[in-house]
Structure 1
């Protein structure tokens, strides 16, 4: 099994509704996102998946989140814009755009250098 990954970041504000702590108040992060692609075999070009293509696909999704108030975006109006939910949102947006036979293995979202959440299916 081969895995390739790309990372990007975006800046956004959010608040965690119903959370008993300082994160219930409006605050922001420089979120970092990593998407990991898995492939059983390499293509004829010797690549599992092209980094340029992965960054383009991931960039379209991350671009929608960049410099936004996440709670105002449709996926986070009803559920909290937690790192866990952001990772799931990005995963479910990115996975259908990948051509067979590659598949999305995981999406990880860091809200700080020490704290991250990962989503897989």
Structure 2
């Protein structure tokens, strides 16, 4: 299997719902997000999926969240804006774009969300 990964970032604030610690208060992060896709076959250019296209997919999804208060952005207006939920939502949104562009030949394998240089969560295809 071929895999490729792109990374981008965005800045946003959030406040965790039902959380006992300091993170229940409004605070912000520079979120780093990595998306890894994979597939068995290359296209007619001998490319799995163009890095440029995957970066565009990711940056357009992240634009919804950039410089925003996540608690006010759907679906986080009703869903706690944890790193775990953010990873899953980004995974779902990028998956639609990649699978549509490749006819299902390429799949999103995982999304890693870093809320700091030393803390990340990964949502992956089971």
CA distance in 1, matches of 2:23, 2:46: 45
CA distance in 1, matches of 2:17, 2:42: 44
TM-score, with structure 2 as normaliser: 0.93
Question: How much does 1:43 deviate?
Answer: 2.0
Pair 1:107 & 2:111 matched: yes
**Aligned residue pairs, count:** 121
Equivalent residue number for residue 45 of structure 1? 45
CA distance in 2, matches of 1:18, 1:30: 22
Aligned ranges for residues 8-19 of structure 1 at < 5 Å? Answer: 8-19=8-19
Question: How much does 1:45 deviate?
Answer: 1.5
Q: Which runs of 4+ in 1 moved over 3 A?
A: none
CA distance in 1, matches of 2:29, 2:96: 27
Q: Where in structure 2 are there 5+ consecutive unaligned residues?
A: none
Q: Secondary structure at the match of 1:61?
A: helix
Q: Secondary structure at the match of 1:75?
A: coil
CA distance in 1, matches of 2:88, 2:46: 30
Q: Secondary structure at the match of 1:76?
A: coil
